[in-house]
């Protein structure tokens, strides 16, 4: 009987030790493999800012935004060219859709949101900014978001500024189909519709952040 007890004890201890070691190993690796953002992540995404020098600006995280957070703000400069603000936004994990990171580029002279791209995607497929611009809901389907989007894209400073001010929400601006169409001919993966929601969140966060920190005071 004592022997049996001893073996049981040994079994349980061995398992417990293995489990603890595994959990510790994973938590260490998780912190090592955690991807933190640097301005290098902005390079090569948008051809108009190729060759720009990027300087990190402290992220102002006074206000929490829903759906994600701004993880990097950098100011890009180049002699004789417009200044740009590059932002990295990380949207929250939504079910099995992992965190996605979006880079957005705003021309600081016109205040126009010129380009958005995925840095890392939580699901397979891609999001094409140009396509979204062409297919965003507008006209008959006018929503505040669509108006804002059109304004943001106009490249005209007063229009852009008005758009940042009037902006309410981008939800519904881009049709679900847009994201699905741009899954690079890969069959739509789980998380495709969540990708759309994450994209809305990313736009909303950037819009709010830019308005709070760069437009409001002017």
Partner 1 sequence: MLEMIPVIIFTAMLSQNFILVQFLGICPFLGVSKNTDSAFGMGMAVTVVMVITTLITYPIYNYILVPLGFEYMEIIVFIFVIASLVQIIEIILKKTSKSLYEAMGIYLPLITTNCAVLGVAELVLTSNLVHNLLDACVYGLFGGLGFTLAIVLMSGMREKLDSARVPKPLEGFPITMILACFMAMAFGMF
Partner 2 sequence: MKAKDIALDGLFRQNPTLKLVLGTCPTLALTTAAMNGVGMGLAVTFVLIFSNAIISLLRNVIPSKVRIPAYILIIATFVTITRMVLNKFLPSISASLGTYLPLIVVNCIIIGRAEAFASKNPVLSSALDGLFMGLGFMFALTLMGIFREILGSGSVFGVKLWDFSIGFFVQPAGALFTYAIFIAVYSLVYSAFLRAANERKNKDGLAVKGARGNA
Interface with partner 1 (CB under 8 A): 19, 22-23, 26-27, 30, 93, 95-97, 190-191, 193-194
Measure the CA–CA gap between 157 and 65, rounded to whole angstroms.
25
**Segments of 49-200 assigned E as strands:** 53-57, 68-77, 84-91, 100-107, 112-120
CA gap 163, 157 in Å, rounded: 10
Identify the residue whose tokens are 């640097």: 38
Footprint on residues 33-52 left by partner 2 (CB under 8 A) = 33, 35
Alpha carbon distance 70, 209 (integer Å): 8
Q: How far is the CB of 53 from partner 2 (least distance, A)?
A: 27
To partner 1, the closest distance from the beta carbon of 16 in angstroms equals: 12
Residue (126 or 155) nearer to partner 2, CB: 126
Look at residue 121 and give the partner it binds from partner 1, partner 2, none, a contact being a CB closer than 5 to 8 Å depending on partner kind: partner 2
Q: Does 27 bind partner 2 (CB under 8 A)?
A: no
Closest CB to partner 1 among residues 109, 190: 190
- Contact criterion met (CB below 8 Å) for 202 and 89: yes
* Consecutive H or E run containing 13: helix 2-32
| Part in contact with partner 2 (CB under 8 A); list of ranges 105-113, 122-130, 138-146, 153-161 | 122-130
**Contact with partner 2 (CB under 8 A): which of 42, 113, 123, 192?**
123
How many angstroms separate the CA atoms of 203 and 167, rounded?
11
Residue 124 binding partner 2, by CB under 8 A: yes
Helices (H) and strands (E) in the chain, counts: 6, 5
Shortest Cβ 11–partner 2 spacing (Å): 4
Residue ranges binding partner 2 (CB under 8 A)? 7, 10-12, 14-15, 18-19, 22, 25-26, 29-30, 33, 35, 96, 98, 120-124, 186, 189-190
């Amino acid at each position: 009987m004592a022997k049996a007890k001893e073996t049981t004890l040994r079994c349980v201890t061995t398992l417990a030790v293995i489990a603890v070691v595994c959990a510790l190993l994973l938590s260490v690796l998780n912190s090592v493999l955690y991807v933190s953002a640097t301005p290098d992540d902005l390079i090569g995404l948008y051809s108009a800012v190729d060759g720009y020098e990027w300087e990190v600006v402290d992220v102002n995280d006074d206000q929490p935004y829903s759906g994600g957070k701004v993880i990097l703000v950098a100011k890009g400069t180049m002699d004789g060219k417009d200044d740009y603000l590059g932002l990295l936004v990380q949207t929250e994990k939504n079910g099995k859709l992992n965190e996605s990171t979006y880079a957005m580029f705003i021309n600081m002279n016109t205040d126009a949101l010129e380009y958005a791209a995925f840095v890392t995607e939580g699901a397979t497929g891609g999001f094409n900014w140009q396509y979204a611009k062409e297919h965003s809901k507008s006209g008959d389907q006018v929503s505040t978001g669509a108006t804002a989007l059109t304004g943001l894209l106009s490249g005209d400073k007063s229009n852009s500024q008005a758009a940042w001010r009037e902006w309410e929400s981008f939800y519904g601006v881009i049709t679900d189909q847009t994201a699905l169409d741009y899954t690079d001919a890969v069959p739509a993966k789980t998380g495709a519709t969540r990708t759309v929601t994450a994209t809305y969140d990313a736009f909303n966060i950037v819009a709010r952040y830019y308005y709070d920190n760069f437009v409001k005071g002017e």
